[in-house]
């Protein structure tokens, strides 16, 4: 009988989403059995699958059910079946509505180059080996949501407007989260803005610098976003935590993702306000990749991004850091021992499918130290 029970809301979504979510849950159950907890889970529709079944990408009641859970695990949404740009309901509405409904304002994307995979990056191996940083992107403010937004006029006098706004409170809460994260890592925080041009960036830099006073042990630096884009490719090892606003974060986190090689390796967490227990912050966890319709249903999708998302969930939302570390260790070891899915460069005849890679990781999950002794 497990000591602890964690409640997980599971949203498999579309394409490879259900395949990687199933793999992640298998690993979660196994690690739970070894580390003394169990997962009680309930599944909910989202995205294209939800449109087909309920006529909405985020059916009524799903957000509330997710709020009740300790954490949310999502696969991916979207696919060619729902791609008609004229459609009134689109799968992405499910994801945006969920993020908004959960109030998650910080998106974390860890980028870690695993030695055994360094050769798959488009950057030279000696530049990236040892890279290990997290991008913290503000998720609910900035130019994506500011008003007015829209277009007017007819040719040849068409014009369009977007507005970027940030309040002090929005900057402060995400900065605090990033400093807390940096405090538990290498204690280096690089804040990225465009303060030489943008008023929102000047406020951003001011507020981040003020928050820094509460974290004297963390070394704060600032970079303009254009320099940051260059530095990420020149010397990615210099970074520990990168904090930036919504638009810059969107672009830089995809640039950063390519340093690690395959999309199939990258987890993410989206976090909101901490609850009463600082060790169990509610969050939404999902692989960075999309629904990969080109390989859906063929059993070859790499499940590691989803499995590492579950590790993040264990550490940040479920208060199970040892189990999180066990999953990460199993992933490292499997790759070091040569386990490869097709996206990691394995020939077709040597590549592990989704199920075989998941089994391999389960076999390699370390037991807790007290059991091993
Ligand atoms: N968060 C999300 O739900 C999310 C994110 C991005 C894209 N999408 C949606 O997904 C659909 C496909 O988008 P896309 O093709 O631009 O991006 P994608 O990430 O789904 O796929 C890009 C390429 O990478 C491959 N790939 C992705 N993940 C993989 C994995 N785990 N293992 C092996 N190969 C993997 C795919 O086969 C494809 O060739 C679209 O409908 C898009 O809107 C959803």
For the stretch 32-68, pLDDT in tens is 999 999 999 999 999 999 999 999 999 999 999 999 9
Is residue 12 pLDDT above 90, yes or no? Answer: yes
Give residue 262's pLDDT. 77
Residue-range domains of the chain with CATH: 1-123+262-373 (3.40.718.10), 132-259 (3.40.718.10)
Number of H helices, E strands in the chain: 13, 12
Q: Is 123 in the pocket of ligand 1 (CB under 6 A)?
A: no
Is residue 281 pLDDT above 90, yes or no? Answer: no
Give residue 372's pLDDT. 53
Q: Is 12 in the pocket of ligand 1 (CB under 6 A)?
A: no
The answer to whether the CB of 159 falls within 8 A of the CB of 151 is yes
Is residue 346 pLDDT above 90, yes or no? Answer: no
- 144: annotated active-site residue: yes
Q: Could you report the per-residue pLDDT of 187-214, keeping only the tens digit for each?
A: 999 999 999 999 999 999 999 999 999 9
At 38 the three-state DSSP class reads strand
Is residue 326 pLDDT above 80, yes or no? Answer: yes
What confidence tier does 1 reach under pLDDT thresholds 50, 70, 90? low
Q: Is 47 in the pocket of ligand 1 (CB under 6 A)?
A: no
Q: Is 107 in the pocket of ligand 1 (CB under 6 A)?
A: no
- Among protein residues, the one with the nearest Cα to ligand 1's atom 6 is 290
The percent of residues in the chain predicted with pLDDT above 70, rounded, is 98
Q: Could you report the per-residue pLDDT of 209-265, keeping only the tens digit for each?
A: 999 999 999 999 999 999 999 999 999 999 999 999 999 999 999 898 889 877 889
Number of Cβ within 10 Å of residue 317's Cβ equals 24
Q: Is 174 in the pocket of ligand 1 (CB under 6 A)?
A: no
Give residue 2's pLDDT. 64
Q: Is 302 in the pocket of ligand 1 (CB under 6 A)?
A: yes
Give residue 210's pLDDT. 98
Cα(208) to ligand 1 centroid in Å equals: 34
How many Cα neighbours within 13 Å face the side chain of 131?
31
What average pLDDT does the chain have? 94
The answer to whether the CB of 182 falls within 8 A of the CB of 157 is no
- Among protein residues, the one with the nearest Cα to ligand 1's atom 5 is 290
Return the ligand 1 atom nearest residue 79 CA.
41
Cα(283) to ligand 1 centroid in Å equals: 22
The percent of residues in the chain predicted with pLDDT above 90, rounded, is 85
DSSP state letters, 172-201:
HHHHHHHHHHHHTTTSEEEEEE-TTT-HHH
- 226: annotated active-site residue: yes
Give residue 85's pLDDT. 76
- 254: annotated active-site residue: yes
Q: How far apart are the C-alpha atoms of 192 and 133, rounded to whole Å?
A: 14
Cα(15) to ligand 1 centroid in Å equals: 9
- 194: annotated active-site residue: yes
Return the ligand 1 atom nearest residue 304 CA.
31
Cα(226) to ligand 1 centroid in Å equals: 27
Q: Could you report the per-residue pLDDT of 299-320, keeping only the tens digit for each?
A: 999 999 999 999 999 999 999 9
Q: In the chain, which ranges are continuous DSSP H helix?
A: 17-35, 47-54, 62-68, 91-102, 125-128, 168-183, 199-212, 225-234, 246-259, 304-316, 321-336, 354-364, 369-372
Q: Is 258 in the pocket of ligand 1 (CB under 6 A)?
A: no
> What is the reported pTM?
0.92
Q: Which listed residue (194, 235, 277, 349) is catalytic?
A: 194
Cα(207) to ligand 1 centroid in Å equals: 36
What confidence tier does 371 reach under pLDDT thresholds 50, 70, 90? low
At 307 the three-state DSSP class reads helix
Cα(290) to ligand 1 centroid in Å equals: 3
- Among protein residues, the one with the nearest Cα to ligand 1's atom 36 is 292
Q: Could you report the per-residue pLDDT of 64-101, keeping only the tens digit for each?
A: 999 999 999 999 999 999 998 788 899 999 998 999 89
- 277: annotated active-site residue: no
The residue length of the chain stands at 373
The answer to whether the CB of 299 falls within 8 A of the CB of 353 is yes
Number of Cβ within 10 Å of residue 158's Cβ equals 9
Q: Is 301 in the pocket of ligand 1 (CB under 6 A)?
A: yes
Q: What is the DSSP letter of 318?
A: S
Mean pLDDT of 110-129: 91
What confidence tier does 280 reach under pLDDT thresholds 50, 70, 90? confident
Is residue 365 pLDDT above 80, yes or no? Answer: yes
At 161 the three-state DSSP class reads strand
Number of Cβ within 10 Å of residue 193's Cβ equals 24
Mean pLDDT of 156-163: 97
Give residue 86's pLDDT. 82
């Amino acid at each position: 009988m497990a000591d602890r029970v964690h409640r997980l809301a599971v949203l498999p979504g579309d394409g490879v989403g259900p395949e990687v979510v199933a793999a992640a849950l298998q690993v979660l159950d196994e690690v739970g059995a070894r580390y003394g907890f169990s997962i009680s889970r309930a599944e909910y529709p989202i995205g294209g699958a939800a449109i087909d079944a309920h006529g909405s990408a985020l059916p009524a009641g799903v957000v509330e059910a997710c709020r009740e859970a300790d954490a949310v695990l999502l696969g991916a949404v979207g696919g060619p079946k729902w791609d008609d740009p004229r459609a009134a309901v689109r799968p992405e509405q499910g994801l945006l509505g969920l993020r908004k409904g959960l109030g998650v304002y910080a998106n974390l994307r860890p980028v870690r180059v695993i030695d055994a995979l360094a050769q798959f990056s488009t950057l030279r191996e000696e530049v990236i080996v040892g890279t290990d940083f997290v991008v913290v992107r503000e998720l609910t403010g900035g130019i994506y949501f500011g008003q007015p937004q829209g277009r007017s006029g007819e040719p040849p006098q068409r014009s369009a407007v977007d507005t970027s706004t940030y309040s002090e409170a929005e900057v402060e809460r995400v900065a605090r989260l990033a400093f807390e994260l940096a405090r538990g890592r290498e204690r280096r925080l690089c804040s990225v803005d465009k303060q030489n041009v943008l008023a929102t960036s000047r406020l951003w830099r001011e507020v981040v610098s003020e928050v820094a006073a509460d974290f004297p042990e963390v070394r704060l630096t600032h970079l303009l976003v254009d320099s940051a884009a260059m530095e990420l490719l020149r010397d990615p090892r210099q970074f520990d935590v990168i904090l930036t606003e919504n638009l810059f974060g969107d672009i830089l986190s995809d640039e950063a993702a390519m340093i690690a090689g395959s999309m199939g390796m990258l987890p993410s967490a989206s976090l909101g306000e901490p609850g009463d227990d600082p060790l169990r912050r509610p969050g939404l966890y999902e692989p960075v990749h999309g629904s990969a319709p080109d390989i859906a249903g063929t059993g070859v999708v790499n499940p590691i991004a989803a499995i590492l998302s579950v590790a993040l969930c264990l550490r940040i939302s479920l208060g199970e850091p040892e189990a999180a570390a066990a999953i990460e260790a199993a992933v490292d070891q499997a790759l070091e021992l040569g386990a490869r899915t097709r996206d990691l460069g394995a020939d077709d005849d040597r590549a592990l499918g989704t199920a075989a890679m998941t089994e391999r990781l389960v076999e390699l999950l370390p037991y807790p130290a007290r059991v091993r002794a």
